[in-house]
Structure formats: structure tokens, C-alpha cells
Amino acid sequence: MIGQNEYYEGRVRSLEFKNNQGNFTVGVMEPGEWTFEAPIKEWMRLVSGSWDVQQPAGQGEWKTYREGEEFEVPGGTDFTVRVTDTVAYQCPYTGEFLGHLDM
Amino acid sequence: MIGQNEYYEGRVRSLEFKNNQGNFTVGVMEPGEWTFEAPIKEWMRLVSGSWDVQQPAGQGEWKTYREGEEFEVPGGTDFTVRVTDTVAYQCPYTGEFLGHLDM
């Protein structure tokens, strides 16, 4: 089954699935600053566009990532992405998915 | 706004968006054979997994594509994908989106 997730009143949406490579979401984020917590380890990989990322949210240095680049999110940590033009991303994650926090 | 599309009773789902690089969908397809028609030119690019593709649907030779590979779909033509393990894809398309046919 393909899961459907919605965050921040639909300004971030993702589809959730599993295949023989593991667990994934693919999603789209509209312009804005969006904070998420990863209950378990995941990677955020840009499929289209670029973004600035702060890890952990509210504390770390901002870094810019471009299409094809990814950053790792240790389990139990959070991050903020600053999106200026709508992006698509892929998010491989480990183990059983416990769900992002819905902010 | 992030559009949401559903085909084949939810066994194929996609999210639709636009950024300064153009018009896109990102989507997920469960195992099965799925036929789509492209009203306008588009590209189907694998983000996760592999699939076999027949262009045009019911007539062409089957070709296998792997992660990161893409095929072009001329406007007004159709294709069938054979999915054996759930895949994610990105679909850049040209011009104004008129929508896939909902089979």
C-alpha cells in the first residue's frame, strides 16, 4: 500500500512505500521553513531543486544542498529546511517507520 | 499547491508540482502492469527500483530501465510499465499539464 502523509496544512506532502531496497518516502515541499523530527535514522535526498538545512533545528549551521545531494538525520534528532522554490525529495529510512511528527 | 493524483485504485499515486525548472510529478507504483497516456511530452525517470517499459502500449518492444535512467514519452503516445517491486519515479513534463488518463 502506498501511504499518504500531509504536513503543515498540505504545504509538505509525501508518499510512503517499501521495496526490496528498504523503506522510503518521496515528497514535495512548497516554499517555507519546515521542521521535522526523525524518530529513526533517515536520509533526505533532493530529487528536484535545492534547499538550506539546519541540523539540529534552531541550533546548527545552515548548509546548502543541491539536486542529487543528501544529508543524514540521526534517529531522535530534528532539522529545519528552508525552501525558496518548490522541491522534491526522496527519504530512505531505516527499520520500521514510526512517522514524522506532524508540526 | 501540491496536486495529488491517484490511478488504478490507488496502486499508483503521484504528487504534482511546479518550480523554476518546470513541471513535475513524483510518484510511486506498486507491482503490476500500468498503462498511461501522455497528452504532452514527458520523461519518466526512476528514483528507486527498476521497471520494464513497452512503448507504445501493447505494441513496442519491452525495455528494462534501472534507477536513475529515464525514457521519453512523446505527446499523444502511451506506454505500459511492468513493475515487479514497488518503484518511485520523477516525471518532468512540458507545458501546461492536461492530466494523465485515469485508466
Determine contact: B63 vs chain A, CB below 8 A: no
Predicted confidence at residue B97, as pLDDT, reads: 46
**What are B38-76's pLDDT values in tens digits?**
999 999 999 999 999 999 999 999 999 999 999 999 999
Using an 8 Å Cβ cutoff, are A2 and B7 in contact?
Answer: no
Listed in sequence order, the residues at least 6 apart from A83 whose beta carbon sits closer than 8 Å to its beta carbon are: A29, A30, A31, A32, A33, A34, A49, A51
- Chain A residues close to B87, C-beta within 8 Å: 19
Nearest to A28 among B13, B15, B30 (CB): B15
Beta carbons of A24 and B48 less than 8 Å apart: yes
Please state the rounded mean pLDDT for residues B1-8: 96
Q: Which residue has the higher pLDDT, A97 or A6?
A: A6
Predicted confidence at residue B95, as pLDDT, reads: 66
pLDDT at A41 over 50: yes
Nearest to A88 among B28, B49, B90 (CB): B90
How would residue A96 be classed by pLDDT, with cut points 50, 70 and 90?
A: low
Task: Burial-class residue B37 by CB neighbours within 10 Å (0-12, 13-18, 19+).
Answer: middle
Listed in sequence order, the residues at least 6 apart from B73 whose beta carbon sits closer than 8 Å to its beta carbon are: B38, B41, B42, B43, B44, B55, B79
Average pLDDT, chain A: 92
Please state the rounded mean pLDDT for residues A44-49: 96
Query: In 3D, which of A1, A13, A42 has the Cα closest to residue B2?
Result: A13
Q: How far apart are the first and last CA of chain B?
A: 24
How would residue A94 be classed by pLDDT, with cut points 50, 70 and 90?
A: confident
Please state the rounded mean pLDDT for residues A38-58: 96
Integer Cα distance of A44 and A22 in angstroms: 14
Predicted confidence at residue A101, as pLDDT, reads: 41
Predicted confidence at residue A95, as pLDDT, reads: 66
Using an 8 Å Cβ cutoff, are A29 and A44 in contact?
Answer: no
Q: Which residue has the higher pLDDT, A49 or B103?
A: A49
Integer Cα distance of B85 and B74 in angstroms: 26
Please state the rounded mean pLDDT for residues A13-25: 95
The 8-class DSSP code of residue A11 comes to: T
Sequence letter at residue B88 = A
**What are B80-102's pLDDT values in tens digits?**
999 999 999 999 998 654 444 44
> What domains can you pick out in chain A, each with its CATH number?
3-93 (2.60.120.10)
ipTM for the predicted complex comes to 0.89
Beta carbons of B4 and A13 less than 8 Å apart: yes
